Amino acid sequence: MLRIAVVFVAFLACAGALAQGGDGAAAAARAEALAGLTDARIPRRVEAIAWFAQNGVASDDVLVYPRLADDDRFVRVLAERALWALWSRSGDAAVDELMERGLGEVASHDYDAALATYSEVIRRKPGFAEGWNKRATVRFLREDHAGAVADCREVLARKPHHFGALSGQGLCHLGLGEHRAAAEMFRRALEVYPHLAAARRNLTVAMGQAVAGNGH
């Protein structure tokens, strides 16, 4: 995993250098990256993913999703990281600052403050899916599973292929004892990201509980 991280940073630096220049150069670099996403050569796919991670906007996630099912594990891991990078971009510096503050509050286990911070993100930019996703995470950590499910649904209304929200909602349903609903969410997560090991393990748990008649 360290090798993946080091190489990814190197490609990000390269991608950032390629993006420099005028509008024409930037458009050409984007077109090259777009073509590279489906290139048969692994290094070209990696370079393309890195370009979007460095230079893309949140709506570019639809271009990167297919690489979560790539035949190459390295490409899949980079695609996952690129998607999280894309999702984190609100397009508003003040909102991005709030998002960073919330991360620090979660890290220090100040969930009340984090809840307030992400609620403010949502108030300011309700169309920004990751604000809802981060608040869902905080609500899950506070064991407010029903509230977290509601927030996950808001994420998925904006980003239907957000595997983090799909899997997270599944965990919330598990917490509520709703094992069939949980299994459905984990299945949907695996449709987007077939190699998401945690979702596969949790699907097995949810199915086992549903078959045993524990929950509904």
Residue 113 has pLDDT above 80, yes or no: yes
pTM of the model: 0.86
4-26 confidence digits (pLDDT tens)? 444 444 444 444 444 445 678 88
From the list 198, 197, 194, 196, the residue with the least C-alpha distance to 171 is 198
Confidence at residue 3, expressed as pLDDT on a 0 to 100 scale: 44
Does one domain contain both 108 and 172?
yes
Q: How far apart are CA 159 and CA 128, in angstroms?
A: 10
The domain boundary, picked from 57, 87, 117, lies at 87
The domain boundary, picked from 63, 87, 111, lies at 87
Does one domain contain both 170 and 155?
yes
60-82 confidence digits (pLDDT tens)? 999 999 999 999 999 999 999 99
Count of Cβ atoms closer than 10 Å to residue 157 Cβ: 12
146-188 confidence digits (pLDDT tens)? 999 999 999 999 999 999 999 999 999 999 999 999 999 999 9
Confidence at residue 22, expressed as pLDDT on a 0 to 100 scale: 60
57 located within any domain: yes
pLDDT band at 216 (very low <50, low <70, confident <90, very high): low
pLDDT band at 215 (very low <50, low <70, confident <90, very high): low
Instruction: Read off the pLDDT of each residue in 111-119 and give the average, rounded to a whole number.
Output: 98
Instruction: Read off the pLDDT of each residue in 119-127 and give the average, rounded to a whole number.
Output: 98
Phi, psi of 53, deg, nearest 5: -60, -35
Q: Which helix (H) or strand (E) holds 164?
A: helix 163-175
The domain boundary, picked from 72, 87, 102, lies at 87
Strand positions, DSSP E, the chain: none
Does one domain contain both 47 and 108?
no
Residue 196: give its domain's CATH number.
1.25.40.10
Does one domain contain both 146 and 207?
yes
- CB contact set of 80 (below 8 Å; sequence gap of 6+): 68, 193
Confidence at residue 212, expressed as pLDDT on a 0 to 100 scale: 81
Residue 14 structural domain: 2-87
Confidence at residue 211, expressed as pLDDT on a 0 to 100 scale: 83
216 located within any domain: no
Does one domain contain both 30 and 100?
no
pLDDT band at 140 (very low <50, low <70, confident <90, very high): very high
Q: How far apart are CA 20 and CA 23, in angstroms?
A: 9
